[in-house]
């Protein structure tokens, strides 16, 4: 009898324990449940559970003038979306907006305002139509998320159009920020694309930044921009207090196919969209203009990512600011990068500016470039280059100061360049210099070898087949060439300014009539192969497109 009693007691205790832990288990299961989104109202309900894991069961169409979810209150206690939105291959259609842009201090136009450590994947936004009247206050406009931090975007696509018009005439501190998919920083993008047609016409503004995909990216992989960006801005100036008194100042004017700033890796990304940025003087009203601002466009990204691999541009990049004293620039791929490999440009890159002007097929600055090429036309026109220069501190030599406008087939500044080539024309109009590969080359003990350029190079103050200026200090210190085994045609000289009056540091470059293994024996078969289509050597691992 005692034995049966013990068994009954054990069973009772076990049952009590199960009942005790049951509610918690149910709660955990429910928290882990995936939540279906089958309608526009289901999408709106995401605001009730910011950490939920959501998935689309079908395409959904949003109502007109859809209100932003998680807009934020600006007081640091904002509710953020921290969950997952999985489209499962379905579309969110018809995101439309027509109204004011809410200015610099209001909530931005976007589907989701704030997101942190969230995931967005397998999703398409189609039929986007954002028509914003910025008025006197500027605008902050995105499609999916206006302020995302540490988020992941995988296989997210966006298409449609964004149109913004402003008519500010004199108000200081006006800013325009337009991002095709999302704003924020430290985000990761994989297999994302944008085919938005973005058109921005500002009144007076102090800053403008437009990107086809994102404002800032930690990394980009296999992403593309296939739309267009057209921006027409008027630069405003305002009084600012400095140690030297009051000055007038304006911010930057930027346009990028994918993102304004990339920080780490950019891999397999392309731009085929047309980017056109025009900036003119606004009414400065007795305020003195300075040259602190930068006006620049690039096909892929700005900033200075650690590396860029297998990326290319086929779109037209055009920047025009003929009356501005600012630095005015246009680049096919990226502003600056530490290491670039297997990248290319075949788009037309052109820039017109009033003072400091620069253009290049790939980038302004590359620390280490390898297996890259340019076949697009690159041109830079400076209308008032006597007032300032693009680079004023290249070396200690007085004759290296005040060059004027510069253009390079691949880059403006390069630490080292190996197994690269240019077949596009490079032209500088007005005072300045041009080079088939890079205007300036040399960095520490690095060498540049096994390159060629056969494009037509034209410039009033100096045209170089390969490099316009070679680092004097490095060549003298090492007592040997830092440029050798390279070839050129289409220009009088392979280089314009030698690094040393002695023969030890003079580059070993050869003028050729054709690019074959016989005429260019130093181009190793490890990297180069003959193309019957182009009738010249091309890169084996970066086939010309």
pLDDT at 504: 55
pLDDT at 317: 98
| Calpha distance 257→106 (Å, rounded) | 26
pLDDT at 20: 45
pLDDT at 67: 86
**What letter does residue 81 receive in the DSSP assignment?**
B
Q: Calculate Rg over the CA atoms of the chain.
A: 28
> What is 266-325 written as a DSSP string?
EES-EE-SEEEEEEEE---TTPPP-S--EEEEESSEEE--SEEES-EE-S-EEEEETT--
Residues of the chain with pLDDT under 70: 1-32, 73-77, 101-107, 170-172, 237-250, 282-293, 384-403, 444, 472-480, 495-506
Strand-pair category, 508-511 with 175-179:
unpaired
Strands (E), 23-66: 34-37, 53-56, 60-61
pLDDT at 417: 97
| Calpha distance 428→425 (Å, rounded) | 10
| Calpha distance 71→496 (Å, rounded) | 57
pTM over 0.75: yes
pLDDT tens digit sequence for 333-364: 999 999 999 999 999 999 998 877 899 999 99
Q: With the CA atoms of 233, 160, 119 and 300 taken in that order, what torsion angle do they form, in degrees rounded to the nearest 10?
A: -50
| Calpha distance 497→136 (Å, rounded) | 51
Q: Burial level of 231, CB count in 10 A (0-12/13-18/19+)?
A: buried
pLDDT at 527: 97
Where residue 379 falls (left for φ over 0; alpha for ψ -120 to 50; beta otherwise) is beta
Domain map of the chain by residue range? 45-239+283-288
Q: Reduced to 3 states, what is the DSSP secondary structure of residue 114?
A: strand
pLDDT at 175: 84
pLDDT tens digit sequence for 370-415: 999 999 999 999 876 543 444 433 333 333 435 678 999 999 999 9
How many Cβ atoms from other residues are within 10 Å of residue 445's Cβ?
A: 10
| Calpha distance 168→103 (Å, rounded) | 11
pLDDT at 437: 96
Strand-pair category, 259-262 with 301-303:
parallel
pLDDT at 187: 95
């Amino acid at each position: 009898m005692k034995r049966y009693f013990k068994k009954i007691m054990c069973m009772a205790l076990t049952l009590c324990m199960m009942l005790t832990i049951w509610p918690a288990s149910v709660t955990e299961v429910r928290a882990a449940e995936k939540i279906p989104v089958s309608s526009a109202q289901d999408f709106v309900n995401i605001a009730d559970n910011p950490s939920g894991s959501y998935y689309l069961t079908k395409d959904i169409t949003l109502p007109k003038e859809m209100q932003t979810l998680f807009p934020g209150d600006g007081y640091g206690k904002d509710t953020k979306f921290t969950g997952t939105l999985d489209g499962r291959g379905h579309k969110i259609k018809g995101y439309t907006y027509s109204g004011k842009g809410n200015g610099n201090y209001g909530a931005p136009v976007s589907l989701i305002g704030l997101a942190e450590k969230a995931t967005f994947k397998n999703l398409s936004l189609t039929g986007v139509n954002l028509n914003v009247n910025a008025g006197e206050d500027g605008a902050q406009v995105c499609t999916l998320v206006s302020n995302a931090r540490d988020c992941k975007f995988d296989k997210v696509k966006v298409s449609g159009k964004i149109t913004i018009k402003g008519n500010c005439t004199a108000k200081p501190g006006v800013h325009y920020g337009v991002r095709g998919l999302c704003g924020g920083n430290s985000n990761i993008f994989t297999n994302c694309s944008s085919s938005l047609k973005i058109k921005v016409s500002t009144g007076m503004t102090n800053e403008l930044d437009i990107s086809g995909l994102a404002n800032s990216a930690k990394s980009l992989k296999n992403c593309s921009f296939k739309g267009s960006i057209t921006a027409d801005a008027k630069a405003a100036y305002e009084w600012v207090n400095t140690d030297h008194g009051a000055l007038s100042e304006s911010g930057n004017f930027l346009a990028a196919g994918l993102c304004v700033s990339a920080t780490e890796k950019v891999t397999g990304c392309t731009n085929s969209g047309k980017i056109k940025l025009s900036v003119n003087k606004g009414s400065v009203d007795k305020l003195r203009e300075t040259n602190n601002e930068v006006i620049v466009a690039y096909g892929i990204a700005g900033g200075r990512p650690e590396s860029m691999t297998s990326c290319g541009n086929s779109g037209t990049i055009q920047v025009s600011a003929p009356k501005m004293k600012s630095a005015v620039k246009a680049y096919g791929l990226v502003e600056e990068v530490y290491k670039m490999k297997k990248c290319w440009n075949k788009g037309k890159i052109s820039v017109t500016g009033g003072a400091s002007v620069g253009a290049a097929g790939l980038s302004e600055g590359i620390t280490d470039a390898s297996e890259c090429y340019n076949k697009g036309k690159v041109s830079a026109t400076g209308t008032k280059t006597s007032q300032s220069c693009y680079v004023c501190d290249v070396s200690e030599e007085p004759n290296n100061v005040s060059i004027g406008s510069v253009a390079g087939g691949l880059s403006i500044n390069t630490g080292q360049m190996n197994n690269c080539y240019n077949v596009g024309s490079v032209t500088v109009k007005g005072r300045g210099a041009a080079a088939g590969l890079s205007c300036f080359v040399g960095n520490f003990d690095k060498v540049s070898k096994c390159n060629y350029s056969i494009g037509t190079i034209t410039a009033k103050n100096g045209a170089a087949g390969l490099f316009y200026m070679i680092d004097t200090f490095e060549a003298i210190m090492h007592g040997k060439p830092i440029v050798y085994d390279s070839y050129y045609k289409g220009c009088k000289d392979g280089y314009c300014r030698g690094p040393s009056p002695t023969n030890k540091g003079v580059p070993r470059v050869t003028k050729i009539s054709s690019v074959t293994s016989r005429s260019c024996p130093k181009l190793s078969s490890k990297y180069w192969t003959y193309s019957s289509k182009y009738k010249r050597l091309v890169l084996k691992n970066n086939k010309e497109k």
